[in-house]
Structure 1
Amino acid sequence: MPYIDATGVKLYFEEAGKGYPIVFLHELCSDGREWDTQVRYFSRAYRCITFNARGYAPSDVPNDPSLYGWELAVDDIAAVMRSLAVEHAYLVGLSMGGYAALQFGLRYPERARAIVAAGVGAGSAPSQRSAWSREASILARAFIERGMDAMARKVAHGQTRIQLKYKDTRSWQEFQERLRRHPPLGMSNTMARCQALRPSLHDLADQFSTMRTPVLLALGDEDAPCLETNLMLKTVLPNAGLWICPNTGHAINLEEPTAFNAQLDSFLAAVERGSWRRGYPEIKAESNLRLETTFDTRAKAVIR
């Protein structure tokens, strides 16, 4: 099996295709295989790279909790790119992977040519922070105490996962089976050290406002824990676009693979043409405010 050494931890990786590199980053409850449909499509024109995060076999599953964390997840992306002689790449991440991609964009802006952050932001909204910390700690213990069979069933039947069951039962079953086979220690440490302790994306708004990297935010409209944060990101990221897919939950690339691939394809093509941009520079924000004020004044006059 092919491995990369990332600060003493071996990371399992796969790659397919030739061309400009795309690095795919998986979510908490899956691994690199969740991107199979995207790799099959995009490897026709791109060099597609997937890897399993630390704690996800056949990557190493360290016993030491200090060898997990969101900072290390960002460093691992850099280690994979360095080992594979990738100077810069497109980053495509879902949930936990999308969070790491955005943090990578802040830390290594010259190495991320464009970022797709899908289903990102759970636990980041100010109204969710206290509950997120508490629930993350409970889940970290549950992976060990209840075991992966029970936790896989619980996650797969969650309010942002059940959509996949009724759209594509086979993919839903495969998702559940992959999760069931994950090492409980790796899941527990990732939840406790990477998820529970990561900064809120809302707290990074000022930093995001200076990030010029093209960003596509992708979100299912039934992924309720992520909606507020994605609207915030769309507001503060200067070069971001937001695609909201209807009747879709968290695993947007599994639920709607054709639509997801089409959006990703269109985004990458626009980046390559140099035509991806947010709005038009000659339209100032203050003019929008004046328009809204004028509209509000006229509306009130009509109501009276």
Structure 2
Amino acid sequence: MRIKTSDGLGLHVEEAGSGLPILFIHEFGGNHESWEPQMRFFARRYRCISYAARGYPPSDVPAGIDAYSQRIAVDDALSVLDALGIGKAHVVGLSMGGFATVHFGLAAPERALSLTVAGAGYGCEKEFEDYFRTVSLEVADNFETKGAREFSKIYALGASRVQFQNKDPRGWREFADRLATHSDLGAAMTMRGVQARRPSFYDLEDGLKAMDVPTLVIVGDEDDHCLQPGIFLKKTIPACGLSVFPKTGHTLNLEEPDRFNGLLAEFFAEVEAGKWLKRDPRALPGQIMRTT
């Protein structure tokens, strides 16, 4: 299926199943096919939607950097829901998609049944913020000059990707092969326009404190630059839970699909039952033991 964005671009959308909707938003290193383990599992009970972000074929690949931004990524997610006639959905994002999910909750909380923010945090830590922006531009240059087919051989072996390779060589190979098919231009522009320009979670604190959407944050314990941002989200968003997967890297939904799917299923059930609540005000973060 093909839908139009608010600025007239075409996005490739796939869906399966019926019931309450789940919108899956993929990471930079993936595409709409990266959610296949979740589409197959949740389509038994839900209406599951995944889409290829702008810059990712078979969606359109605009050439100008002004066509890419964090806000535009949110607008595209809303365009998908609008085109499908969906008022509210569970929104699930990984990494780049996790950032889009957070911003979705800030921009359009009334459209979200819940938010799942997985493997998100790169560039948020203030001590690494400048480095992240610099290395993002280097990655963009590499995709543009070497091409995805060659540079994917380097990118797919990042420090938080090798866990996936060690656990599931066939699954990792499928991930790496998909990465090699990325648009050279689309990958470069996404890195420059979205990744290198997006704000840190720490700069969004006031908005996050006011965001009442039920939220689940998931990080791998070997995805080092997502750990502290994940804890920050847990402490800041009122109705937020945090899950840390042991001995796990960045590509959570593919590296640990059974654990990921089971956790999401329980989260969705609690949200739909009205049981995923804000933190009890008696659970004072500064208290160690009560004495009076």
TM range (shorter): over 0.9
The one-letter code sitting in structure 2 at the alignment partner of 1:93 is G
Give unmatched runs, 5+ long, in structure 1. Answer: 295-304
The one-letter code sitting in structure 1 at the alignment partner of 2:174 is E
Q: Answer yes or no: is 1:170 the counterpart of 2:170.
A: yes
Q: Answer yes or no: is 1:249 the counterpart of 2:249.
A: yes
Contact 1:241 1:278 in 2 (8 A): no
Query: 1:1-80 residue pairs with structure 2 within 5 A?
Result: 2-6=1-5, 7-80=7-80
Q: Which residue of 2 aligns with 1:302?
A: none
Rate the CA distance shift 1:60–1:290 in 2: closer, same or farther, 3 A.
closer
- Figure out how many residues of one structure are paired with residues of the other and give that number: 290
Query: 1:181-196 residue pairs with structure 2 within 5 A?
Result: 181-196=181-196
Contact 1:209 1:238 in 2 (8 A): yes
Query: 1:85-234 residue pairs with structure 2 within 5 A?
Result: 85-234=85-234
Give distance in 1, aligned partners of 2:163 and 2:47. Answer: 31
Q: Deviations over 1:133-184 (max 9, x none)?
A: 1111111111011221222111111110011111111110010110101110
Normalization by structure 1: what TM-score? 0.93
The one-letter code sitting in structure 2 at the alignment partner of 1:143 is F
Give the C-alpha shift of residue 55 in structure 1.
0.3
Give unmatched runs, 5+ long, in structure 2. Answer: none
Give distance in 1, aligned partners of 2:212 and 2:28. Answer: 27
Q: Which residue of 2 aligns with 1:82?
A: 82
Give distance in 1, aligned partners of 2:182 and 2:283. Answer: 50
Give the C-alpha shift of residue 130 in structure 1.
0.8
The one-letter code sitting in structure 2 at the alignment partner of 1:158 is G
Rate the CA distance shift 1:146–1:243 in 2: closer, same or farther, 3 A.
same
Give distance in 2, aligned partners of 1:289 and 1:201. Answer: 22
The one-letter code sitting in structure 2 at the alignment partner of 1:130 is D
Q: Deviations over 1:277-298 (max 9, x none)?
A: 24323x152xx5354697xxxx
| Same amino acid, percent of matched pairs | 41
Q: Deviations over 1:67-120 (max 9, x none)?
A: 111111000011000010000100000000010011010110111110000001
Rate the CA distance shift 1:293–1:54 in 2: closer, same or farther, 3 A.
same
Contact 2:238 2:279 in 1 (8 A): no
Rate the CA distance shift 1:202–1:290 in 2: closer, same or farther, 3 A.
closer
Give distance in 1, aligned partners of 2:179 and 2:10. Answer: 20
Largest Rg, 1 or 2: 1
Q: Which residue of 2 aligns with 1:301?
A: none
